[in-house]
Structure 1
Amino acid sequence: MKKGIHPKNYRLVAFKDMSSEEIFLCRSTAETKDQIEIDNVKYPLIKIEISSSSHPFYIGKMRFVDSAGRVDKFLTKYKNYGKI
């Protein structure tokens, strides 16, 4: 492998699935301003909308996930489309 091409800030990061509230730790270089404390240790926090704990393929059932009112925003934007 080439030397000097890998990022220096590779560290443990907490990922939180916002639909199932599950938190898991993984190594990442992703930047974030949020933090969370797990077992008296502070980790950078990345909020995600869907993961294996909430994806229909993995849990075996459909779940409606509307992040930040996107469906409502779409419906209000296109409610008069096609009307005369």
Structure 2
Amino acid sequence: MQQDKHPEYQAVVFRDRSAGYAFLTRSTATSDQTIAWDDGETYPVVDVEISSESHPFYTGKARTVDSEGRVARFERRYGAGEGQNPDTSD
């Protein structure tokens, strides 16, 4: 690894203000703001808009796509393969 080309890893707190959640990890992100953590140390804090605590996929609030409704709408628009029945062999 070449010297002086890679950013320095450090302990950083990422804070999701919308969920009231923060976690400590190692990152190359930097910030001028700091926060006192549970262990008594002070770490830089980076505010994020979405984390696993507020993302719809992880919270179970994700919308599901109605794929059956999409197929039915496609068949109504373009026909259900009129004249072709895949169940019968000619």
TM-score normalised by length of structure 1: 0.64
Give CA deviations for 1:26-57 in whole Å, capped at 9, x if unaligned: 11121211110012110000000101110000
Q: Which runs of 5 or more residues in structure 2 are unaligned?
A: 63-90
Q: How large is the RMSD of aligned CA atoms in angstroms? A: 1.4
Q: Distance in 1 between matches of 2:33 and 2:11?
A: 14
Counterpart residue identity of residue 11, structure 2: L
Give, in angstroms, the shift of residue 25 of structure 1: 0.8
Aligned match of 2:55: 55
Aligned match of 1:3: 2
Q: Distance in 2 between matches of 1:33 and 1:21?
A: 20
Q: Distance in 2 between matches of 1:30 and 1:6?
A: 12
3-state SS, counterpart of residue 2 of structure 2 = coil
TM-score normalised by length of structure 2: 0.60
Question: How many correspondences in the alignment?
Answer: 60
